[in-house]
Amino acid sequence: MKKNLIFYFSGTGNCLKVAKTISKNKENTEIIPMGSSHIYEFDGDYESIGFVYPVYFAGLPAAAADYISKLVLPKDDNIYYYTVNTCGSIIGNAFAQLKELLEQKGAHLDYSAKLKMFSNYVVMYNMKENVKEITEKSDKDLIPIMENIKNKYKNKTGKKNSLLEWWYHKEMKVIHTKDQHFNVSENCTSCGICVKVCPVDNIKLEGKKPDFLHHCEQCTACIQYCPEKAINFKNKTQNRRRYTNPDINWKELSESNKSY
């Protein structure tokens, strides 16, 4: 039987939830974290290869883009390539950037789907309270997307927006060092959850408190999953609500993100 792969990147659990849900709809499917330093090596025959990731600054998360750029894809024109991008509002260039990366490797993006999920970039705003309502709608919206993937439906990917691409690259130049603005309060209990949930191993416990290593993705997993709200960005997030996907706890996210 041919294999199916889903590469995902997830900070607050949204994309892990999506990848897991899609995988249950297709036999012989494996999900693989794109924050890992271990680059997947293809062997055998593949029916489909999917990419599930959130939209960061109107484009691909830097870690996902880097991971995909290092993949040596199988030379098989019959493989069905697809992507599901989660976002709070716009997709921007996230589809087009992946399409370009795949084309550089001689592959093609057959299907791209946008899935609106709970908007959770706590650094920029206080999040809404209607988590249940938005989550239920996202779950429903994912059903026809999964059917399209199962039936190998194809659609077209638009061109890049030059202004959004400029903004994206501007942010990517400083994204990894934005963790210099994180601070840790006396509420920290040295539980180590922040270390475990970080998808790119950007945190270590130093003197019993988290120390940030400056290859941050701004996924805010450390802020969102901290049980004491001890990690914050500047003086902006202390009184803001926290969000993690209701169906993904920190242990599951950690185990999945560290599985490779």
Residue-wise pLDDT tens digits, 92-135: 999 999 999 999 999 999 999 999 999 999 999 998 899 999 99
Answer whether residue 258 shows pLDDT above 90.
no
Band of residue 179 on the pLDDT scale cut at 50, 70, 90? very high
Band of residue 42 on the pLDDT scale cut at 50, 70, 90? very high
Report the pLDDT value the prediction gives residue 33, as an integer from 0 to 100.
Answer: 96
Token representation of residue 56: 């960061």
State the average pLDDT over residues 171-189: 95
Tell me the C-alpha distance between 190 and 233, whole Å. Answer: 18
| % residues pLDDT > 70 (the chain) | 99
Residue-wise pLDDT tens digits, 8-35: 999 999 999 999 999 998 889 999 999 9
Backbone angles phi, psi at 199, to 5 degrees: -75, -10
Average pLDDT, the chain: 95
Tell me the C-alpha distance between 28 and 88, whole Å. Answer: 31
Report the pLDDT value the prediction gives residue 260, as an integer from 0 to 100.
Answer: 66
Token representation of residue 71: 């993949």
Residue type, 41: E
Structural domains of the chain in order of their starting residue, each with its CATH number: 3-164 (3.40.50.360), 174-257 (3.30.70.20)
Sequence-distant (6+) residues with CB within 8 A of 41 are: 72
